[in-house]
Amino acid sequence: MDIKAVILAAGKGTRMKSETTPKVLHEIMGKTLLGYVLDNVKNLASEEFVIVGHHAEEVETFVKHNYKNAKTVLQSPQLGTGHAVSMVCPYLENYDGLVLILCGDTPLIKEETLKKFVEFHTSHASELTVMSTIFENPTNYGRIIREENGSLKCIVEEKDATNEQKAVKEVNAGIYCLNWGKIKSAFGQLKTNNAQGEYYLTDIISWGKSQNLNVNAFILDNSDEIYGINSRSNLATASKIMNKRNLEKYMDEGVTIVDPDSTWISEDTEIGQDTIIYPATYIEGKNKIGKNCKIGPCAHLRGGVEVCDNVKVGNFVEVKKSKISSNTNVGHLSYIGDSDLGERVNIGAGTITANYDPISKTKSRTILEDDVKIGSNTVLVAPVTVEKGANVGAGSVITKNISQWALAITRSPLKIFENWVKNKLQ
């Protein structure tokens, strides 16, 4: 059956205390919270609707640039999660398939879990399914309230809950699957008679029960996946959970992570077998690292980086939007940005690719062909090409292309004044 996804991303995110960035555009290892949710749902849904409101323009721009299949729908003012979903009603008037609802602040959910969730919904002939999990500390989440016979009754928000309800550890993940044709009329009937005076999406559960619909909960074992981000502290916790998950995966695939406690690697990075990642390395965004590489300690890969096999990216090296071909070494204290490095290139310590022109505000590329050797403390002012086999002497500032097998050097001549110090001291 066709699936459309609705992602709630209009809320203010008050608890993040951010003036400049809407909650869903905060990042974990170079990717926004909303980006994680959209990536995990995009293979399942034929279309995604992102509900925007607070900082709408920024969220719209982000979606437009990165997710061609997703539409943004404005919710203004923001009157609650139920109100947010009702914004898609005009777009889905004649739609009769499934709608998967997710929150833009829940980035740890996995695609395979969403798949199982939809399968559960379909195989139970459910008309409305909510995802739940058990939290030892359920504070701030909506609680799943069940009838004595164990069937679902309703969801109660923390702020509306009695002490007895607060003790319930089964919580609402904020992820729902619904047969749109059956549930859509609920959105005209939600009320605001609750502690926050909002239209709660959670009320569709009791509404569904009152309509004698088949309403179910899918209990998720791995509660980490539905961890929602409401505060900076939550953001840090979610980042740690995600990183641990990523590192375990890389280690399972044959990558050595010397110190998992100080290493960060984004989930969109591919790493080949027998590569060693040394401590305090931070790898964010989308990258591809080959086999038998040595990365770090203290290396920073900032996304858009392709590192081929047998490459060394050593201590205090930062790399961004660059390709480093096989058997090349960037050993120490260098910045490689917007560059293409050939095979068997050697980059001396302290080499900088000056890729940014602050006058024109443009970035340019540096191209170092195969077998090029760059002496220590060199600045390569882009756009610049050093052709195959050429050498650059230490301390040079390279502003022109260098032809193959040439030596380029801009160092001023060395002057030695014999006995100069001794004479001064006399």
Which residues are annotated as catalytic?
332
153 exposure class (CB count in 10 Å sphere: 0-12, 13-18, 19+): middle
Q: Extract the tokens encoding 47.
A: 């279309």
Is 105 an interacting residue with respect to Ca ion (CB under 5 A)? yes
- Rounded distance, CA 354 to CA 336, Å? 9
Identity of the residue, 49 or 282, whose beta carbon is nearer to ligand UD1 in the bound complex: 49
Is 202 an interacting residue with respect to ligand UD1 (CB under 6 A)? yes
Among 3, 5, 6, 10, binds ligand UD1 (CB under 6 A): 10
Binding residues for ligand UD1 restricted to 61-90, rule: CB under 6 A = 75, 78-81, 83-84
- Rounded distance, CA 299 to CA 256, Å? 15
Pattern 204-243, ligand UD1, x by CB under 6 A: ------------------------x-x-------------
Identity of the residue, 237 or 262, whose beta carbon is nearer to Ca ion in the bound complex: 237
- Is residue 189 within 8 Å of 207, Cβ to Cβ? yes
Q: Of all residues in this chain, which one has the CB nearest to ligand UD1 in the complex?
A: 142
Is 172 an interacting residue with respect to ligand UD1 (CB under 6 A)? yes
Among 49, 56, 70, 104, binds ligand UD1 (CB under 6 A): 104
Identity of the residue, 24 or 295, whose beta carbon is nearer to ligand UD1 in the bound complex: 24
From first CA to last CA, the distance across the chain in angstroms is 94
Is 50 an interacting residue with respect to ligand UD1 (CB under 6 A)? no
As a whole number of Å, the CA-based R_g of the chain is 28
Binding residues for Ca ion restricted to 189-248, rule: CB under 5 A = 228, 230
Is 174 an interacting residue with respect to ligand UD1 (CB under 6 A)? yes
**Count of residues touching ligand UD1 (by CB under 6 A):** 30
Among 98, 154, 201, 368, binds ligand UD1 (CB under 6 A): 201
Binding residues for ligand UD1 restricted to 115-144, rule: CB under 6 A = 141-142
Identity of the residue, 157 or 284, whose beta carbon is nearer to Ca ion in the bound complex: 157
Among 41, 103, 220, 313, binds ligand UD1 (CB under 6 A): 103
Q: Extract the tokens encoding 340.
A: 């293409």
Indicate which of Ca ion, ligand UD1, none lies near residue 171 (CB less than 5 to 8 Å, by partner kind).
ligand UD1
- Is residue 145 within 8 Å of 156, Cβ to Cβ? yes
Among 117, 176, 200, 218, binds ligand UD1 (CB under 6 A): 200
DSSP assignment of 296-341: -SS-EE-SSEEE-TT-EEEET-EEES-EE-TT-EEEES-EEESEEE
Identity of the residue, 51 or 402, whose beta carbon is nearer to ligand UD1 in the bound complex: 51
Q: How many residues does the chain have?
A: 426
List, in sequence order, every beta strand (DSSP E) within 33-184.
47-52, 70-74, 98-103, 128-134, 143-146, 152-156, 170-179
Is 11 an interacting residue with respect to ligand UD1 (CB under 6 A)? yes
User: Residues 6 or more apart from 182 whose CB is under 8 A from it?
Assistant: 127, 128, 213
Measured CA distances, 70 to 4, 38, 45, 65, 271 (Å): 10, 8, 10, 10, 30
- Judged by the rule CB under 5 A, the positions of this chain that interact with Ca ion are 105, 228, 230
- Judged by the rule CB under 6 A, the positions of this chain that interact with ligand UD1 are 8-11, 51, 53, 75, 78-81, 83-84, 103-106, 141-142, 155, 157, 171-174, 200-202, 228, 230
